[in-house]
């Protein structure tokens, strides 16, 4: 069998795709890059917002035609597969295999079945299957938990991924050992709410450390760089910030979603914290990590949000001064309390507010990035950038960085980079040698090509 997996959604979906691909290979399948080459196409879906659901519908419509023409086998996995909405879509488009996030290891049973196979059971314990480390990559994701015990009114995750279940530290460290052996130098710990690691369904799990203690354990493994996502402010404790400060491998980057700056909106969202409590967390983080890079998530136009509520979000953005943000207009998702009980705002109101927030974010990102000009950042360069002759990567603070290829730094690796120019969304620099001087560059862009890429031409 020739198989391909199409992935939509978050980093946890990317991790799940790698897990399932490893299962497919162990079953004798050949992984291919295109639908046209494949006998089996598996779509890893997201259900957090409406747009990825619409995309899945479109793809499944095309695949149904190929099923009729050449006997293609089609599967759907991930969050959408767990929902009644997704199951209705699967019936409509004649999906053969349906796997929820808790049943990914049932892929073998599914392919052996001679009839439609739907695996939608949650497990009380996380499986201990450790996928092989990605080859030839310097960075990797490592899932430390599944599910979420919070019940934000807009969020479908507790329904799609079930209650929180934490992996044992032994299992996490064994997977990390494999990543280290494969040459991985940066790992991102993943969870719906990593700060609550070890507290499943409100109770401390025996034998499982706190998240702060886990950070220290992982920091002793030999991995050079550690990041984590995502954090819930309700569970963020000062000992996490202290562990970050005292563990050199942990990068000075915190993604702490606020969602809104209005207490009234936060209550309707059931976020379980106030604006004031959130700002206390920010102050604690900066006490221990003065140079921390802060990112957040914000939902604009949540039901009932007034102009005054939105202004409080803009004011909070200025008070914190985020380096970056993921910003979305509210997307009503069937099955959530906000969908059932709250009236949506007009789309034009949500869109106009989003544009104002984006403008504010660009101002702060430009200001924060401009402060990096003239500094030296340790940058993990992943490989070729969007222009020939350049490499792209990211700093410890998660800033996207682009550099010209240089003799002695023409491939993936971690390099010291002198930052020479900044835009709201990118840093541009040059790799330094042992003497602190820029390394000799390889052939640069032609003048014609450089003229088409003004930011790059400013290097």
pLDDT cut 90: percent of the chain above it: 76
For the chain, domain boundaries: 2-119, 139-368, 376-457
Q: Taking 90 as the threshold, does the pLDDT of residue 445 lie above it?
A: no
**56-72 per-residue burial string, b: 16 or more CB within 10 A, e: under 16:** beebbeebbeebeeeeb
Segment 230-278, tens digit of pLDDT? 999 999 999 999 999 999 999 999 999 999 999 999 999 999 999 999 9
Domain 139-368: which CATH class? alpha beta
- Extended strands (E) in 87-138: 97-99, 117-119
Mean pLDDT of 65-89: 91
Whose tokens are 């209550």? That residue is 267
Segment 365-404, tens digit of pLDDT? 999 999 999 999 999 999 999 888 999 999 999 999 999 9
Segment 296-347, tens digit of pLDDT? 999 999 999 999 999 999 999 999 999 999 999 999 988 899 999 999 999 9
* DSSP class of 118: E
Segment 19-48, tens digit of pLDDT? 999 999 989 999 999 999 999 999 999 988
Domain 376-457 has CATH 3.40.50: no
Q: Annotated binding site, which residues? A: 10, 46, 79, 148, 152, 155
Please answer whether residues 24 and 3 qualify as being in contact, where contact means their C-beta atoms are separated by less than 8 angstroms. yes
Backbone phi and psi for residue 42, each to the nearest 5 degrees, phi listed first: -115, 125
- For 278, the 3-state DSSP assignment is helix
Whose tokens are 């162990």? That residue is 26
Mean pLDDT of 358-362: 97
* Architecture label for domain 2-119: 3-Layer(aba) Sandwich (3.40)
* DSSP class of 120: -
Q: Taking 80 as the threshold, does the pLDDT of residue 294 lie above it?
A: yes
**Mean pLDDT score of the chain:** 91
Segment 101-123, tens digit of pLDDT? 888 888 988 888 877 888 777 65
- The larger pLDDT score, comparing residue 134 to residue 14, is at 14
Q: Taking 50 as the threshold, does the pLDDT of residue 456 lie above it?
A: no
Question: What are the helix (H) ranges across 297-432?
Answer: 307-320, 337-341, 347-370
Mean pLDDT of 59-86: 91
Q: Which two tokens stand for residue 11?
A: 């980093």
Q: Annotated binding site for [4Fe-4S] cluster, which residues? A: 10, 46, 79, 148, 152, 155
Whose tokens are 């089609």? That residue is 74
Question: What's the pTM value of the predicted model, to 2 decimals?
Answer: 0.89
How many degrees, rounded to 5, is the angle at CA 85 between CA 80 and CA 89?
Answer: 85
User: Minimal CA–CA distance to 286: which of 254, 247, 327, 318?
Assistant: 254
SS3 per residue for the chain: CEEEEEECCCHHHHHHHHHHHHHHHHCCCEECCCCCCCCEEEEEECCCCHHHHHHHHHHHHHHHHHHHHHCCEEEEEEHHHHCHHHHHHHHHCCCCEEECCCCHHHHHHHHHCCCCEEECCCCCCCCCCCCCCCCCCCEEEEECEECCCCCCCCCCHHHHHCCCEECCHHHHHHHHHHHHHCCCCEEEEECCCHHHCCEECCEECCCCCCHHHHHHHHHCCCCCEEEEECCCHHHCCHHHHHHHHHCCCECCEEECCCECCCHHHHHHHCCCCCHHHHHHHHHHHHHHCCCCEEEEEEEECCCCCCHHHHHHHHHHHHHHCCCEEEEEECCCCCCCHHHHHCCCCCHHHHHHHHHHHHHHHHHHHHHHHHCCCCCEEEEEEEEECCCCCEEEEEECCCCEEEEECECCECCCEEEEEEEEEEECCEEEEEEECCCCCECCECCCCCHHHHHCCHHHHCC
Q: Taking 70 as the threshold, does the pLDDT of residue 450 lie above it?
A: no
């Amino acid at each position: 069998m020739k198989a391909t997996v199409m992935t939509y959604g978050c980093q946890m979906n990317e991790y799940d795709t790698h897990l399932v691909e490893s299962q497919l290979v162990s079953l004798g399948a050949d992984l291919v890059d295109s639908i046209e080459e494949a006998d089996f196409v598996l779509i890893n879906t997201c259900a957090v917002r409406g747009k990825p659901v619409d995309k899945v519908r479109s793809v499944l419509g095309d695949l149904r035609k190929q099923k009729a023409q050449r006997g293609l086998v089609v599967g759907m996995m991930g969050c959408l597969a767990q929902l009644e909405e997704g199951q209705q879509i699967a019936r409509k488009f004649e999906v053969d295999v349906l796997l929820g996030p808790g049943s990914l290891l049932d892929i073998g049973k599914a392919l052996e079945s001679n009839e439609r196979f739907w695996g939608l059971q949650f497990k009380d314990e996380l499986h201990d299957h450790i996928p092989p480390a990605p080859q030839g990559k310097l960075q990797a994701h490592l899932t430390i938990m599944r599910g979420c015990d919070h019940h934000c009114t807009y969020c479908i995750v507790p329904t799609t991924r079930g209650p929180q279940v934490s992996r044992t530290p032994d299992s996490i460290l064994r997977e990390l050992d494999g990543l280290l052996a494969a040459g991985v130098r940066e790992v991102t710990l993943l969870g719906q709410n990593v700060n609550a690691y070890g507290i499943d369904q409100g109770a401390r799990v025996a034998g499982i450390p706190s998240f702060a203690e886990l950070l220290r354990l992982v920091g002793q493994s030999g991995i050079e760089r550690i990041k984590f996502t995502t954090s819930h402010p309700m569970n963020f404790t000062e000992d996490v910030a202290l562990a970050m400060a005292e563990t050199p491998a942990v990068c000075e980057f915190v993604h702490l979603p606020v969602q809104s700056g209005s207490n009234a909106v936060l209550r309707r969202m059931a976020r379980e914290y106030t604006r004031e409590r959130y700002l206390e967390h920010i102050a604690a983080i900066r006490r221990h990590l003065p140079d921390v890079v802060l990112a957040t998530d914000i939902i604009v136009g949540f039901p009932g949000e007034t102009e005054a509520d939105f202004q409080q979000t803009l004011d909070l953005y200025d008070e914190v001064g985020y380096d970056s943000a993921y910003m979305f207009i509210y997307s009503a998702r069937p099955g959530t309390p906000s969908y059932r009980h709250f009236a949506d705002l007009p789309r034009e109101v949500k869109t106009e507010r989003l544009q104002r927030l984006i403008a504010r974010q660009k101002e702060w990102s430009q200001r924060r990035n401009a402060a990096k000009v003239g500094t030296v950042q340790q940058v993990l360069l992943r490989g070729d950038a969007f222009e020939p002759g350049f490499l792209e990567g990211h700093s410890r603070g998660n800033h996207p960085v682009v550099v010209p290829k240089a003799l002695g730094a023409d491939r993936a690796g971690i390099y010291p980079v002198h930052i020479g120019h900044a835009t709201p969304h990118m840093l541009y620099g040059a790799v330094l040698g042992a003497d602190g001087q820029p390394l000799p560059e390889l052939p640069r862009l032609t003048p014609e090509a450089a003229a088409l890429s003004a930011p790059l031409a400013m290097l």
